[in-house]
Amino acid sequence: MANKKTLVLGASPDASRYAYLAANRLVKNGHDIINVGIKKGAVAGVEIERPEVLHHDVDTLTLYIGTRNQPPLYNYILGTNPKRIIFNPGTENPELEKMAEEKGIETIEACTLVLLSTGQY
**Residue 58: pLDDT above 90?**
yes
Residue 37 lies in a domain: yes
Residue 1 lies in a domain: no
Residue 109 lies in a domain: yes
Count how many domains the chain has: 1
Mean of pLDDT over the chain: 97
AA letter at 66: G
Residues of the domain holding 41: 6-117
* Contact assessment for residue 13 and residue 38, using Cβ atoms and an 8 Å cutoff: no
Residue 66 lies in a domain: yes
Average pLDDT over residues 2-24: 97
pTM for this prediction:
0.96
24-57 pLDDT tens trace? 999 999 999 999 999 999 999 999 999 999 999 9
> Coil, strand or helix: which one is 60?
strand
pLDDT band at 2; cut points 50, 70, 90: confident
Residue 68 lies in a domain: yes
**Residue 1: pLDDT above 90?**
no
Distance CA 94, CA 21 (A): 25
Q: What is the CATH number of the domain that holds 102?
A: 3.40.50.720
